[in-house]
Amino acid sequence: MRRLGFVVLALLLSPSVAAGQQRAGGLPAVPLTRAEATDYVESSTYDDVVTFLNAVQDAGPDIHIGSFGYSYEGRRLPLAVWGAEAATAEAVRSTGKTRVLVMANIHAGEVEGKEAVLELLRAIAAGEHAAWRDSLVVLFAPIYNADGNERVRLDNRPDQLGPVGGMGQRPNAQGFDLNRDYMKLETPEARSLVGLFTAYDPHVTIDLHTTNGTYHGYHLTYSPPLHPGTDPAISGFARERWLAEVTRTLSSEWSMWYYGNLPDFEGFEGPRGWYTFSHQPRFGSNYEGLRNRIGLLSEAYSYLPFDERIAVTHDFVVASLDFAAARASEIRRLTDAADAVDISGSELPVRAEHACGAEVEILMGEVAAERHPYTGERMLRRLPVQRPDTMLDCTSFRGTETARVPAIWIVPADLEPAIDRLAAHGVRMSTLVEPLTIDVEAFAITRSTQAEREFQQHRERTLEGVWEASREELAAGTVIVPSAQPLGRLAFYLLEPRSDDGLVAWNILDEALEGSTRYPILRASRVPAADAMESSGNPRAGSE
């Protein structure tokens, strides 16, 4: 598509440069972002972003604008593609190049990633970073939480240092946090994004955020995939090579380290250390790791001025794309190798805890309070203080309970909520064409409990029990999910009854579990003969 299909105004809805003006060489000029045009008082609206993207497309013939789905309120989610002949998945995958997705605004109060992406696209349209195109296709999704972006309030991010003209809200229009919806897929935005992962299959995703929390001395913190069940080559490459090199590259201007906080709240019982966020794949970068892809989380510091948050985010993305371009073939080999691993028979963790390693030096910082000029509420400004403090490094995880990966999971045909989620994630499945009697294991439930507190409109469920051998006759139409597939790790965490982030945890199987003493999904150590099944899904849509 050459246009998003919107009615586009001739001018941005801010006092910026007109999109139709001409620049040198007869190409249209690309406007300023709303942030730039208002001296960083405001952030871009949805219409601003759409208008800007179309202006970038007009100015840069190699940039193609499309969309990858819809928000809850029906806004199309824009996607800019550079390095392919069109914005379609087929055009992108047919290049054979390494594919990188840069996404922003999953939390619509964290707006610097959105502005940084727009500025980078303008630079690309002007001919900068041309060398990336030799080895990369870069996809840009600058305004993922489009509905939340339009709910501007001056107090949406308490204590954050601007933009003082307001910013959007954290959740989407349904009230869901999109960065907790990667597994349960309750929002159209999450289903759209996971559909993008299946169709375009980016080898790398860079997810742009803003963080507050502990008063530290860094400009930006980051994270690789954290789930201990991730292919170790994927997580090791991201942590030990990618993020380490980006840190060295930018060290003369910006201080960066692994995302974390120093817990000091009442009731915390762990050792003193720098603790990262949860390992669960409900978070994007962890989810991407379980798809055998590299997920990188970027968190600009909330107490930096708005323009500095944009600048450090922009530089992190540029340095990351430099790294990806230089190692594009290696990245493809790495992900291809992970896809080829047969995990059946192995033990993978279903639950995990922080793994605190050696002591590290963390730069602690200070902030000063000032008043919002229009509300009088407190804002915090980072001071140029970096105070080294030694503590344990608690930025990785270890499994506390494991389960054996079967050859197959067996899902009854009437268990539609489970089958729907598997299909939406792109997991490969087959169906039995006739009844089949085989040896299986069934999970006998000894206890089922739910969390007392609601989280994301759910009370998370936990099952306890034991696997017991059985011989079962499976009906025609029963769905078979093999673990020997590229999305085998993801299928494991969705389907295992003890998974702390799967279908059970998110109440998706509650109706089937009501009054039952047996988990409805079986597992087996033998794959039925190929002629007994017909395929009903593909884990990686398209072809290379």
Give whole-number Cα distances, 396 to 167, 181, 299, 362, in Å.
32, 22, 17, 16
pTM of the model: 0.94
The strand order across the sheet containing 387-394 reads 273-275, 387-394, 359-364
Residues 337, 236: Cα–Cα separation, whole Å: 14
The predicted pLDDT at position 457 comes to 96
CB of 474 closer than 8 Å to CB of 409: no
HSE-CB at 514 with a 13 A cutoff on CA atoms is 5
The predicted pLDDT at position 14 comes to 39
Alpha helices in 370-509 (DSSP H): 416-425, 488-495
Per-residue tokens: 442: 């069934």
Find, among 287, 289, 285, the residue nearest to 298 by Cα: 285
Residues 6+ apart with CB under 8 A from 498: 350, 351, 401, 403, 463, 464
The predicted pLDDT at position 30 comes to 80
The residues of the chain scoring below 50 in pLDDT are 1-24, 539-544
Peptide bond into 163 cis (omega under 30): yes
Residues 531, 516: Cα–Cα separation, whole Å: 33
Q: Between the CA atoms of 493, 499, 502 and 508, what dihedral angle is there, to the nearest 10 degrees?
A: 140
HSE-CB at 447 with a 13 A cutoff on CA atoms is 4
Domain boundaries, the chain: 24-353, 405-535
The predicted pLDDT at position 544 comes to 39
Query: Burial of 518 by CB count in 10 Å (0-12 exposed, 13-18 middle, 19+ buried)?
Result: middle
Residues 368, 382: Cα–Cα separation, whole Å: 7
3-state class (DSSP) for residue 535: strand
Characterize 262-278 residue by residue with b for buried, 16 or more Cβ atoms within 10 angstroms of its Cβ, and e for exposed.
Answer: bbeeeeeeeebbbbbbb
Query: Burial of 350 by CB count in 10 Å (0-12 exposed, 13-18 middle, 19+ buried)?
Result: buried
Per-residue tokens: 60: 């840069």
The predicted pLDDT at position 537 comes to 57
Residues 325, 331: Cα–Cα separation, whole Å: 10
HSE-CB at 23 with a 13 A cutoff on CA atoms is 16
Q: Identity (one letter) of the amino acid at 221?
A: T
CATH architecture for the domain at 24-353: 3-Layer(aba) Sandwich (3.40)
Q: Identity (one letter) of the amino acid at 506?
A: W
Per-residue tokens: 138: 């870069």
Residues 6+ apart with CB under 8 A from 254: 219, 220, 312, 315, 316
The predicted pLDDT at position 6 comes to 34
Residue 199, H or E segment: helix 188-200
Give the pLDDT confidence of 52-86 residue by residue, as tens digits.
999 999 998 899 999 999 999 999 999 999 999 99
Per-residue tokens: 85: 């002949």
